[in-house]
Amino acid sequence: MAMEGPIDCPTSATSALAECGPPNPGSPRIVYGVLTGSAMHQTRVPHVQQTWARRIGPSSAIAFFSDRADPSVPTIGLQPSEAEELHALGAWRNLPALRVLHDRREHFGCFDWVFFVDDDSFVFPRNLERRLAAENPAAPAYLGVQHTARKDLEWKDERARIGYAHGGAGYVLSWPALLRMRPRIDGCEAEYTGWAGDMRVGKCLSLTLNTQIPVRDYRGLHTEPPEYFVWAGASLLRERRGLWFHTSAQEHAPLSFHHLSGERMRSLAHSLVVASRGARGRVWEHDFSELGFREHRFAVGVGSEAAAGARELAEGGVEATPAGMRLLFGFAIEEARP
């Protein structure tokens, strides 16, 4: 594999230290790796840059990995190995991108964590940073939505019968995991040339960590857009632990959604951020992403009006409550009626 072009300015890292010191507990340094392609440089990528990428913390960085170096983005250009079978689909980019991040760690802000995601995914950086602040950055970790190979595709290859993290929802690697994985990356790239990219990463980590299921399931990451899921409150989740396709926001604030159009990314970003202008004209932004996709009830009346509303709800089979409305950040404001 050869990397195309220089990588002098591919990222928004705020620091490029000569040597990386120990991790700072409670203040995670994350590099967000976005996998894209040259056909998406002027379509999907700008939506990422103008929505969730603006919310990454000052200690973090973002890098776009593509099949072509493009200084206008900018992107880091990668090339597939000579043995690659899936040139058009971009599945080959995961391992070369991880190699670049490992070999140039200082250039990417001396990160403690890698978060890889697709260019049609929406990420909640503030929520991810809060969650990773509670994790141990000194231990090997591979976090994501656990998947297995499709029976009609890679499952036919016995080597692919592993658990791996879904790439569209995003997956997290700690620096120690990447450090241990690095000696195997070249061999994995040459060996697994016909699989999905996220599966190649999972296989390489499976060999590195000597386990068939190296990934730890991480709630808050979603493989589809918000509309795909049935929104469920905490009481329903307690009653029906086997409920499929529910959002996990009642237990954890959302970390990502996948398969979003550019327009949906922008509408989602606008629904979670409130801007206000101060007395001197300065614009303040308030990020409500921690509250996203959770139910918040509140009263719409006072005195007898509120009491009458509560009685009406109770008569309709809804638990009597002084709150007459519910607010679901990211969706809409709806009446709390059956």
- Do 179 and 92 form a contact (C-beta atoms < 8 A)? no
Q: Mark 108-142 as b/e (b = at least 16 C-beta within 10 Å).
A: bbbbbbbbbbbbbbbbbbbbbbbbbeebebeebbb
- DSSP 3-state assignment of 328? strand
Same domain, 100 and 202: yes
Last residue of a domain, one of 164, 192, 217: 217
In whole angstroms, what is the distance from residue 179 CA to residue 121 CA? 26
Q: Identify the CATH number of the domain in which residue 85 sits.
A: 3.90.550.50
Question: Is position 269 within any domain?
Answer: no
DSSP-derived pairing of the beta strands 256-257 and 142-144: unpaired
Specify the pLDDT at position 181: 96
Nearest to 200, CA basis, from 54, 34, 84, 338: 84
- Residue ending a domain, choose from 217, 235, 255: 217
pLDDT for res 24: 78
Longest distance between any two alpha carbons in the chain, whole Å: 76
Q: State whether 44 and 146 are in the same domain.
A: yes
Report the 10 Å Cβ neighbour count for 315. Answer: 9
Summarised one tens digit per residue, pLDDT across range 21-79 is 888 777 899 999 999 999 999 999 999 999 999 999 999 999 999 999 999 999 999 99
- Classify residue 272: in a domain, yes or no: no
Domain that holds residue 73: 3-217
Instruction: Of 99, 105, 26, 107, give the one whose Cα is nearest residue 74.
Output: 107
Number of domains forming the structure of the chain = 2
Q: What is the CA radius of gyration of the chain?
A: 22
Judgement on whether residues 150 and 57 belong to the same structural domain of the protein: yes
What are the CA-CA distances from residue 115 to residues 64, 128, 202, 338 (Å)?
A: 12, 9, 14, 40
**Would you state the pLDDT for residue 160?**
86
**Alpha helices (H) in the chain, listed in sequence order:** 44-50, 94-103, 125-132, 175-191, 197-209, 234-239, 262-272, 304-315
- Both 30 and 139 in a single domain? yes
Q: Do both 189 and 96 map to the same domain?
A: yes
Which residues are bridge partners to 143 per DSSP?
172, 216
Residues of the chain falling short of pLDDT 50: 1-18, 243-245, 298-306, 309-338
pLDDT (0 to 100) of residue 304: 47
Q: CA-to-CA distance for 210 and 66, rounded, in angstroms?
A: 30
Distance in angstroms (rounded) separating the CA atoms of residues 6 and 129 = 29
* Residue 276 covered by a domain: no
| Euclidean distance between CA atoms 324 and 144, whole angstroms | 37
Domain termination site, one of 194, 217, 240: 217
Which amino acid is located at 22 in the chain? P
Helices (H), 192-290: 197-209, 234-239, 262-272
On the 0-12 / 13-18 / 19+ scale of CB atoms within 10 A, 194 is: middle
Q: Classify residue 223: in a domain, yes or no.
A: no
One domain, residues 21 and 136: yes
Whether the CB-CB separation of 219 and 254 falls below 8 Å is answered with: no
Residue type (1 letter), 255: L
- Half-sphere exposure in the Cβ direction for 249 (13 Å, CA): 26
